[in-house]
A and B are shown apart, each in its own frame.
Chain A
Amino acid sequence: MSEQKNMPEQKNISGQKKTPMLVAKDLRKMFDVSAPWLNRLLEGKGKSLVRAVDGVSFSINPGETFSLVGESGCGKSTVARLIVGLYEPNDGSINFEGVEFATAADRARHPEIQGRMQMIFQDPYASLNPRWRVGDIIAEPIRFRGLLSGKAAIDKRVGELLSQVGLSPVDARKYPHEFSGGQRQRISIARALAGEPEFLVCDEPTSALDVSVQAQILNLMKDLQRKLGLTYLFISHNLAVVYHVSDKVGVMYLGRLVEWADTQTLFTRPLHPYTRMLLDAIPDLDMTGRARTPVAGEVPSPLNPPPGCSFHPRCPLANERCKREVPKSLTVEGGAVACHAVEEGRLPPWKAQAAA
């Protein structure tokens, strides 16, 4: 069960070795979704556990954007929450610039490091306290961490932050409900920046937004990354968005990281059959009327994942070994993949490659 051990020392795209900012190793998180104790007793059922994250390892270099992509229930949002400490992992380690950081106790010992990471959430309507003025929302990290003192200094900083995300300093006096979804997401970003973080975890930051607003927010995030040297962990189900923003991409399926690679490699030479299936499912604007080849079957319940490689019931390449044995992560050029078909060399060429 210890796949994907060999990842942290990967080279980044430019080829130089960098010290990763964040290294997650073999993260595991289980959720107890059992019925209440009395019901279990009466119905004679045991506890039921969901393996939301099952041995995920990756590393992120400073200034880079690492994306996790996958369908609902694949555990990508859980990974995001493990990194920022909203959940505590059952097992595994999170290392932030050399400091071990996985458990609540670790975090309590290093409050300064928690301050260097922030999170942007998916739902712009739920992520801002409706009873607070925008100015107070943005000022909260500043006040809490004591970054500035005095009302004037804080107000000035809030104004700067609002301008930085494309809003006006006078918006500080308004309440969240006076803003549109895109503007709220800007406020969310301003709040995240208020704590002067270096590392931002973005959990589907644009999936609740309309396309034209999504473009604004993605551009803003890229501008801020360039200007402030931010590092992103970006969670999304939208491959086109991931392709646009990422330096490296990890693909998750049922709690496991099945493949990761730098963006160009992953999108031009996907190895894992699941990655290929996802790429195939992207609606293509240039090829109107093209028939997609939809993959049969649906994501199995994470409560009762299939044995062996969890993708085998939907995989066109599955054999007996896939049904039995969990594939180990293999290092390949530009990334790593966990698939028996790749290991055994029976992977057909990718069609884009074949066409080229």
Chain B
Amino acid sequence: MSSPKLLEVRNLRVEFPTRRGTLVAVDDVSLDISAGEVLGVVGESGAGKSMTGAAIIGLLEPPGRIAAGEIRLEGRRIDNLPYHEMRKIRGRQIGAIFQDPLTSLNPLYRVGDQLVETIQTHLPLNQAQARARAVKLLEDVGIPSASERINAYPHQFSGGMRQRVVIALALAAEPKLIIADEPTTALDVSIQAQIIQLLKRLCREHGTAVMLVTHDMGVIAETADRVAVMYAGRIAEIGPVQDVIKRPHHPYTVGLMGAIPAMGHKVERLTQIDGSMPRLNAIPKGCAFNPRCPKAFDKCFRDRPEPMPAGTSQAACWLVQEPAHV
């Protein structure tokens, strides 16, 4: 079956076997990313957003494993590929940017050598061509005097510059998709803005799709085309970013938006969602959000809601079907 979607994730389930039983970190998650699209994945720590990204790129930390579901890149299943096959896809077709640029760069190698190595692994270029491409990439990500800085070591760059290098590295082989896991969280506000601008511009120019994993709704609002809100390993709501932010359907999304201190109009108290997200070993029956939900009714405690159409979005909430309870 051919599909216009670049990435299709169907009913993904990620499990962590522990001695106290199996923890389900990602539970029945389905999402698509079209070519050139930016999908934001937002949620609180432990919501399973990073785990979803890691599963797609085949970098789940053992003992974590994909227990069910399918991941397809351009129609080809990639979740069950052997390690060496997946390694070819990683970098070539799916690039990765992580939160801490220091862990993505080898401190013992010059930045240029790391770029050249990545380029030559995936593209049929000779040393000189690869080097020229590396300089071009560094210029693209806005590193001043790139042809000199290419010989520097990672520690000689500042945090923001390092994250630019990581972006260059992720783009090195012209992947079709980049998984960016909290790419701006470790950076200062003013640098964050620069990196987000850069990411947006590059993806537009290269036609790269991005899965942007972050806890920061502001970053999503500025960058993403669509957004998936995750809660306790499940997708609570997914839809176009404007709609999810302005007209959220899931009570969790509503609460999340209200909890963000808004600029411009001062409120005495923020909307607060009481309690905290359940631990993975104690996810309640029915809807995982039911203990904190102000509008939960009997069905929410009994049956688990699947994402269902709600306006232009999809929300996993029984209120969508039974508006009488709203």
Whether A288 lies near B221 (C-beta < 8 A) is: yes
Q: Specify which chain B residues have a CB less than 8 angstroms from the CB of A277 in the assembled complex.
A: 190
Residue A291 interfacial (CB < 8 Å): yes
Chain B interface residues toward A at CB < 8 A: 44-45, 158-161, 188-194, 196-197, 215-219, 221-222, 241-242, 245, 255-264, 266-274, 276-277
Whether A284 lies near B218 (C-beta < 8 A) is: yes
Whether B197 lies near A239 (C-beta < 8 A) is: no
Whether B44 lies near A210 (C-beta < 8 A) is: yes
Whether B189 lies near A71 (C-beta < 8 A) is: yes
Closest 7 CB pairs of A and B: A283-B218, A215-B259, A210-B44, A244-B261, A71-B188, A215-B270, A294-B193
* Extra pairs beyond A216-B273, A281-B192 (16, CB < 8 Å): A71-B190, A212-B273, A213-B276, A215-B271, A216-B272, A237-B188, A241-B261, A278-B189, A283-B217, A283-B218, A285-B257, A287-B221, A289-B222, A298-B161, A298-B190, A298-B191
Chain A interface residues toward B at CB < 8 A: 71-72, 180-183, 210-216, 218-219, 222, 237-241, 243-244, 263-264, 267, 277-278, 280-292, 294-296, 298-299
Option from B189, B190, B215, B242 in Cβ contact (under 8 Å) with A210: B215
Interface centre among A182, A219, A287 (most CB of B within 10 A): A219
Q: Specify which chain B residues have a CB less than 8 angstroms from the CB of A182 in the assembled complex.
A: 276
Whether A239 lies near B189 (C-beta < 8 A) is: yes
Instruction: State the CA gap A287–B159 with chains docked (Å).
Output: 28
Total inter-chain residue pairs, C-beta < 8 Å: 127
Minimal beta-carbon separation of A177 from chain B (angstroms): 12
Minimal beta-carbon separation of B40 from chain A (angstroms): 11
Whether B276 lies near A240 (C-beta < 8 A) is: no
Minimal beta-carbon separation of B146 from chain A (angstroms): 16
Whether A212 lies near B218 (C-beta < 8 A) is: no
Q: Specify which chain B residues have a CB less than 8 angstroms from the CB of A211 in the assembled complex.
A: 44, 215, 217, 256, 259-260
Whether B158 lies near A298 (C-beta < 8 A) is: yes
Minimal beta-carbon separation of B215 from chain A (angstroms): 6
Q: Specify which chain A residues have a CB less than 8 angstroms from the CB of B258 in the assembled complex.
A: 215
Instruction: State the CA gap A294–B164 with chains docked (Å).
Output: 15
Closest-by-CB residue of A relative to B194 is: A294
Whether B218 lies near A285 (C-beta < 8 A) is: yes
Whether A294 lies near B190 (C-beta < 8 A) is: yes
Whether B188 lies near A267 (C-beta < 8 A) is: no
Instruction: State the CA gap A244–B215 with chains docked (Å).
Output: 20
Instruction: Please list 15 pairs of residues, one from A and one from B, whose beta carbons are closer than 8 Å in the complex, sorted by A's number.
Output: A71-B189, A71-B190, A72-B188, A211-B215, A213-B276, A216-B273, A240-B260, A280-B193, A281-B193, A283-B221, A283-B222, A284-B222, A285-B217, A285-B260, A289-B222
Option from A72, A241, A264, A290 in Cβ contact (under 8 Å) with B222: A290
Q: Specify which chain B residues have a CB less than 8 angstroms from the CB of A183 in the assembled complex.
A: 276
Minimal beta-carbon separation of A19 from chain B (angstroms): 26
Closest-by-CB residue of B relative to A179 is: B276
Whether A212 lies near B261 (C-beta < 8 A) is: no
Q: Specify which chain B residues have a CB less than 8 angstroms from the CB of A295 in the assembled complex.
A: 190, 193-194
Whether B259 lies near A281 (C-beta < 8 A) is: no
Instruction: State the CA gap A299–B215 with chains docked (Å).
Output: 24
Q: Specify which chain A residues have a CB less than 8 angstroms from the CB of B221 in the assembled complex.
A: 283-285, 287-288
Q: Specify which chain B residues have a CB less than 8 angstroms from the CB of A244 in the assembled complex.
A: 261, 266-267, 270
Minimal beta-carbon separation of A213 from chain B (angstroms): 6
Instruction: State the CA gap A298–B272 with chains docked (Å).
Output: 35
Minimal beta-carbon separation of B299 from chain A (angstroms): 24
